[in-house]
A and B are shown apart, each in its own frame.
Chain A
Amino acid sequence: MSSTLTVPQAQAALDAWTREMIAWHFSPATGCDYWLSWAKEAGWNPLKEINCFADLMRFDHFDDEVLRKEQPERFVPKAYANRPYNIFETGGTTGMPKQRVGWDDYKVDYEEFSDHYGPDFFPKGTNWLMVGPTGPRRLRLAIEHLANYRGGSCYFVDLDPRWVKRLIAMGEGAMARKYQEHVIDQAATIIRHRNIQCIFTTPRLLENLAERMSLVQAGIKAVFAGGTTMTPQYVRFVVEEVLEGKINFAPTYGNTLMGLAISRKLKPEDKYSLTYYAPQPRATLRIVHPDRPNELMPYGEYGRVELTTMTREFFVPRFLERDEAIRRPPCDEFPWDGVGDVRPFQSLTKTIIEGVY
């Protein structure tokens, strides 16, 4: 299912949503302690000064360190005060992880994702296998909800990325490989002994799994993958060889703060270059100049990814992600900007442990 809006209509909807969310988060009856306290000391009033999405530039870039330092309770909107919440984590290889609270956002995001792909892409009523980071992550509940929403159940094989990263940082490459094999052993066993047709996993684990078996022969019909950089060559390799050109492939870009951005359908002229579209208006991605993040990059150029998340559950303005991407124009499926060929920020100049799981 694609958006039915035109580009101007989508922009108008985003502006209207921005006003609604600012009213929600900065009204004492509905907002959370963290933002209400912030507003008292900000020296300006978002309720008066934010009238459209562009006005959000009034906010500084969100510092995600507060998600480590502050107690999660401070982010609970008054409107949700009586509902127990989920705590979702990100980071945490060393020290305190970043945490966010949540209730239904992940369900909304993944139902929208599901509806986008229709009934046949991930065959309805079939079972799923998730191979990847579960634990305190939003993704674990989200994938199970997705499977359930499509009428199936979900099996899980966990991989602890914090431990993998730590092993690599310690120079224990051999142990990291053994751990990865252990994860793949478990996944292969489930696929062989249970009726699985859909998989969620990371690209690297998908590769490893397909080195053990033909996923086509194993009866897999669709794969949903995300989590690390996928260059055009990598996507081509996955489509042509790992999935043997016969399994549906849904690459996504997402994280705990944003939710998930869906990739537009690949066309021959894309040459396997992926473009992701944020779940607007709940989350918006902009590609900004790395040194002057108030400026948008021109279309077709790399810049840093800036995320704004605005749901009733959570408000994150202008967070600079640790990723960079190419700014891409709206397309048939999504009437807003997309982000292409995402990779770690300044990955051409830094050594980054990525793609290890």
Chain B
Amino acid sequence: MSETLHLPVLRFGRPYESLDRLRFNVDGQAIEVSLANSGLIRRDLKLIPEAVRRLQAIPSAKLADAMEKAADLFLTGNLPWGLGDRLQSPDDYVAVLSQLTGMPLSLGRLNMGKVHAAMANIRAVMAGLTRGMSFDLFDKGFIRQDGLDVNFFPQTDSLGVLLPSNSPGVNSLWLPALVMKIPVVLKPGREDPITPYRLVQAMIAAGFPAEAFGFYPTSHDGGDALLFGTGRAIAFGSDATVRKYAPYRHIQVHGSGRSKVLFGDDFADDWRKHLGVVVQSIASNGGRSCINASAVLISRHGAELADALAKELAAIVPRARTDPQAVLCGFANPAVARGINDRIDELLQTPGAEDVTARYRQGPRMIEAHGQTFLQPTLIACSDPTHPLANTEYMFPFASVLQVPQAEMIGTIGESLVVSAITHDRDWTIDLMTSTNIERLNIGPYPTNRVQWEQPHEGNLFEFLYRRRALQGDLVAAG
């Protein structure tokens, strides 16, 4: 066994080895993660003005260059692996990620590719967020656009982020903040401290000042210190997390996505042609993302659609983490899988729902295979849209099928992160675009996990961090 790897706390440029540690064992390699106490985080927040100064000293366009360079380093580079001289190769990263989170190597690489793309496409991402404003905005505070002087100012001097462990791809959300010259204070998820750590290392190696990053593996109390100590913060979590932080305007909370696929009446009879899109929406990334569909609504052929989907989903079986065909993720904590499985069985006791996948699945929903605990894909046919399983989300390929008239769909879906509406119905499209409960809308036969870099995901980070100010008069001083 090689020497213990130690992931330190990063205190805005200073690595810190804590006496409180999380310990993991990855194929005989001991890994320790330093845990920050909440008071330490609160004290460090005093370092933020210096972090801002460091970022201010670099033109924003150069930071975008650095982000593009960091993208390649993240994907292919050998980067510092905790304290000491050891370097982490991309394969090391994927192997450890897989072991800690239960994610197959193939999905780990896929996510790595997604994060890489988000970084490499930073210019497109920034253009999407700012609607094409020049990077000068972040250097001078204002730009001239269409003959008008436009001034935006930061609403915060830092962005706190409470990260989840379910999927590394989520890290792409905070990256643009650095190009906008806003330092970040990160609390990694318990099972995935290594993705944000590798990202930070890639960005430092590419030219970002180390002082711009706070990296604090910590407790709930420490998470609160971070969320309440930064002017703007993003928290990912369960519905309970949403309830806890919803009253605070400076915290953007991302709970369950409850994303959906809707078949318009114009496509309902052709549902079979688009089965692949629906399966991808439900099962891509192991069903772990908030952008995975958890319900499919159609106005007719509901039973046939459910049966066909169940058959397709049941064919996705647990495989070894090293199998290139693997799609399902094991659960790092088997108790979580057990809890979800028991909950689904309990809710199936309420009349009006059937686990259609049970017809086709090999073995029970929860199984032990390849040294891991898996939940096999589950498709529930619900005859009642108010059934407790009709609009819920779990961290594996899980979805319900509901037969609902098109006119009632928008009123039925509730808050939904992504909706893929498979339709070309102009009037209904307008209704969808003016609805208030959809965060991201795909029109046409596109899976819910489709990414277009110019479009913001989960709110517009630029608008969250910056605010426009009326600006008039002589701008001589501003140059």
Write the residues of chain A forming the contact surface with B, with a CB cutoff of 8 angstroms: 171, 173-174, 177, 204, 207, 210-211, 231-234, 236-237, 241-242, 271-272, 355
Contact = CB atoms under 8 A, between A and B. Distances in A.
Contacts of A232: 19-20
Contacts of A272: 19
Contacts of A236: 19
Contact of A231 (B20, B221, B248): B20
Contacts of B18: 233
B42 A211 contact: yes
Most A CB within 10 A of own CB, among B19, B35, B46, B248: B19
Contacts, number: 38
Contact of A233 (B37, B46, B221, B248): B37
Given A207-B42, A234-B37, A241-B40, A174 B20 contact: no
A207 B228 contact: no
B247 interface: yes
Contacts of B221: 355
Q: Is the interface of A mostly helix, strand, loop or mixed?
A: helix
Interface of B: 18-20, 35, 37, 39-40, 42-43, 46, 221, 224, 228, 244, 247-248
A174 B247 contact: yes
Contacts of A233: 18-20, 35, 37
A171 B247 CA distance: 11
B181 to A, nearest CB: 26
Nearest to B35: A233
A207 B19 contact: no
A271 B39 contact: no
Contact of A211 (B37, B43, B244, B248): B43
B282 to A, nearest CB: 34
A113 to B, nearest CB: 25
Given A231-B37, A234-B39, 4 more contacts: A171-B244, A211-B43, A232-B19, A236-B19
A231 B19 contact: yes
A237 B228 contact: no
Given A232-B19, A272-B19, A237 B39 contact: yes
26 contacts: A171-B244, A173-B224, A173-B244, A174-B247, A177-B228, A207-B39, A207-B42, A211-B42, A211-B43, A231-B19, A231-B20, A231-B37, A233-B18, A233-B19, A233-B20, A233-B35, A233-B37, A234-B20, A234-B37, A234-B39, A237-B39, A237-B40, A241-B40, A241-B43, A242-B43, A272-B19
Contacts of A234: 20, 37, 39
B264 to A, nearest CB: 42
A56 B35 CA distance: 42
Contacts of A237: 37, 39-40
Most B CB within 10 A of own CB, among A171, A234, A242, A271: A234
Contacts of B247: 174
A271 to B, nearest CB: 6
A158 B63 CA distance: 50
A242 B248 CA distance: 29
Contacts of A242: 39, 43
A173 B224 CA distance: 10
Nearest to B20: A233
Nearest to A242: B39
A271 B19 contact: yes
A233 B39 CA distance: 11
Nearest to A211: B42
A232 B37 CA distance: 11
Q: Which 10 A-B pairs rank lowest in CB-CB distance, beginning with the nearest?
A: A207-B39, A233-B19, A233-B20, A232-B19, A233-B18, A237-B40, A234-B37, A237-B37, A211-B42, A236-B19
A36 B326 CA distance: 73
A355 B37 CA distance: 12
Nearest to A235: B19
Nearest to B220: A351
Nearest to A240: B40
Most A CB within 10 A of own CB, among B40, B46, B247: B40
B355 to A, nearest CB: 32
A342 B199 CA distance: 37
A171 B243 CA distance: 10
Contacts of A210: 43
Nearest to A207: B39
Nearest to B21: A233
B248 to A, nearest CB: 8
Nearest to A271: B19
Most A CB within 10 A of own CB, among B35, B39, B228, B248: B39
Most B CB within 10 A of own CB, among A173, A174, A236, A237: A237
Contacts of B224: 173
Contacts of A171: 244
A253 B465 CA distance: 45
Contacts of A355: 221
Contacts of A207: 39, 42
Contacts of A173: 224, 244
B190 to A, nearest CB: 14
A204 B38 CA distance: 10
